[in-house]
Structures are given as C-alpha cells and as structure tokens.
Amino acid sequence: MKNPDAFKKVAVIGCGFIGYSWGVVFARNGLAVSMYNRKSKTLDTVKDRMKEALEFLRDEGMIEAHAVRESLDRITVTHDPEEAVRDADYIQECLWEDLELKREMFERLTAIVPADVPIGSSCSGLRITDIASRVKHHPERCIVAHPTNPPHLIPFMEISGDNASEEVKRTVYRFMESLGQKPILCKEVYGYVLNRIQLSLIQEALYLVKEGICNVEAVERALTDGLGLRWAFTGPYGVEELNSASLEEGLEKYKDYMIEFFMNQQKKLADYDEAFIKKAAAEFKPLMNGKSHDEYLKWRDKMVIRTRMLKRNNP
C-alpha cells in the first residue's frame, strides 16, 4: 500500500451534496481531483459549487486567497468513471445510498484500478461488506469512509470495514488526518457511530412533538440554547464528568435515573405520517427568522466554521 504522503490524485465518484464537498477537501489540500457523475446538471455545475465553497473558506479565513484559484485548477470533471479513476491514488465513492448502485460501481472500479488503491464509500447506513460482495479484485481495500455533511466544514468521519485489511484502514486514517479530517475507527454496524447517536436523538425529538409534550421550537432550543453549546466541546462522557465530581461519580450517581428512562420512560416512536410532517414543517418555518433555505444553510455554515476556529484557537 502506498504511503498516503505520496498520494497525488483522488477520484470522487458522485458529485452531489457529499461528493462536491469531499472534492473541496481534497483540492484545497493540494491533490488533483477528478470529479465523476453521470451526465446531469449536477455534473455541469459541480465546479461552480466547489468554487463557491472555496470562496466561503477564503472569506472566513480558513484558506489563503490564492488557494481558491490553485484548488480550482486541480479539479477536472468527467462523466466517464474510467477516466476519473485513471492514476488515482484514492477513490471516494459518493453515489446515492443504493446498495445495487454502489455494488455495481465497486465491482467495476476494482476491476480496473491497481490493487493498492483504497476505495472508501461515503455510505451512511449500508455495510461495506454488502457493497463489496461482488468485488473479485482485492475486496480488502474497500472500506467505509463516512463523512459528516459537509466534510469541507465538519471534519468528523468514520472508517470501518470488518473485512477490510488493517493496512488499508490505517492508510486511509492517516490520509484523512493529513487532510485535516478527524477520523475514528469502528466496527461495521448499521448507521455507524455518529448516525446511531443522532438517530436516537431524532427519535426522541419526534416523539416529544408527536405526543404534544412540547413544540418544535422547544426541541430546537433544547439543543441550540442548551445541549449543543456543551456538545461542541464535551461529548456525553465529558458532560457526565463535569456534571459531577468525576465521570465515575456521575455514572454511579445517575445510574438509577438513567436506567429508569431507558427501560420505562423512553417510548419508541413507531411511525409518523404526512400530517405530522406538515405540522412539524409549519412549526419550524418561523424559526428560520425569514431566511430562505439557502440563507439558513449559509448562516449555519458560517457559525460552524467560527466554532471550529474557536476550537482551533483553544485546543
């Protein structure tokens, strides 16, 4: 396996929300990037979206002004997957979350690229063992490289693959670290780590509103005025450490309270219908303070990058 310090070119397979953002991560770190998508408006406009993202990073002081043009010069766009992966040292797959689609692409790409090229899937819930089930040429280089949306702003990511080689996982881990991403390793499990935590929270957020216990605004504020302020700096274990004299004491002290909730109080939300979706959307809209969806997204991105700066300056 090649040393990741020697990687020069990356192919990104799929140019949607995640693909374009991965492309920005690779290009701004000095790598040549080949962006592949089937013929579509997404493909035609991907470089514009990447330019906008690079300019945003420049405006927020994350990259130098000259890095915008230099990064853009390293990006090529194609609707031919074979051309995209030619001479690539690493491949990041970002197609729709569709097992058959990803299976076909992994089978096709592994047949043409050298055995020492790792292929990471951005898949959120699918298992890489299933995605790589038809790969005949070195399936051990196929892994999960699941980002947080959007990876050019939020660095956390998961590397997984129960049948992947340790060498591949180590190589991609080091590669991602060298790009400024913050990888973790975990076993293959539905949803991996971040989404399992997030889904538990979303489940409760839906339950509280569906049962009329509180409204959408209350749930949003519990996070944005409450938990979220801590969570950018301490996770749940850190919170328990600080809620008591120590983590040991916190876990001991609150055990009965927590187990009572897990076992008896936490109700599962089995389903929700269209009427609930409409009601939630109507309650949420005023919380955007008159911003359009795009304006709300830009504002969120700005706040995220400023929080990252704060963290960077206070390690």
Ligand X SMILES: NC(=O)c1ccc[n+]([C@@H]2O[C@H](COP(=O)([O-])OP(=O)(O)OC[C@H]3O[C@@H](n4cnc5c(N)ncnc54)[C@H](O)[C@@H]3O)[C@@H](O)[C@H]2O)c1
Q: Where do contacts with ligand X occur on this chain (CB under 6 A)? A: 14-19, 37-38, 40, 42, 94-97, 101, 122-124, 146-147, 149
Can you tell me the distance from the alpha carbon of 249 to that of 273, in angstroms, rounded to the nearest whole number? Answer: 42
Residue among 149 and 178 whose Cβ is closer to ligand X: 149
Write the DSSP symbol of residue 126: S
**What is the nearest approach in angstroms of ligand X to the Cβ of residue 126?**
7
Q: Do 272 and 210 form a contact (C-beta atoms < 8 A)?
A: yes
Q: Do 173 and 145 form a contact (C-beta atoms < 8 A)?
A: no
Residue 261: strand, helix, or coil: helix
Strands lying side by side in the sheet with 32-36: 75-78, 32-36, 9-13, 90-93, 119-121, 142-147, 156-160, 182-185
Ramachandran area for residue 195 (φ above 0: left; ψ -120 to 50: alpha; else beta) = alpha
**What is the nearest approach in angstroms of ligand X to the Cβ of residue 157?**
9
Residue among 93 and 240 whose Cβ is closer to ligand X: 93
Residue among 108 and 253 whose Cβ is closer to ligand X: 108
Q: Do 193 and 158 form a contact (C-beta atoms < 8 A)?
A: yes
**What is the nearest approach in angstroms of ligand X to the Cβ of residue 54?**
18
**What is the nearest approach in angstroms of ligand X to the Cβ of residue 79?**
8
By Cβ distance, which residue is nearest to ligand X?
Answer: 16
Residue among 123 and 172 whose Cβ is closer to ligand X: 123
Write the DSSP symbol of residue 287: G
Residue among 36 and 240 whose Cβ is closer to ligand X: 36
Token pair 């040549």: residue: 32
**What is the nearest approach in angstroms of ligand X to the Cβ of residue 105?**
7
Q: Tell me the Cα Rg of the chain.
A: 21
**What is the nearest approach in angstroms of ligand X to the Cβ of residue 215?**
25
* Backbone torsions φ then ψ of 207, nearest 5 degrees: -60, -50
The distance from CA 56 to its chain's CA centroid, rounded to whole angstroms, is: 19
**What is the nearest approach in angstroms of ligand X to the Cβ of residue 199?**
13
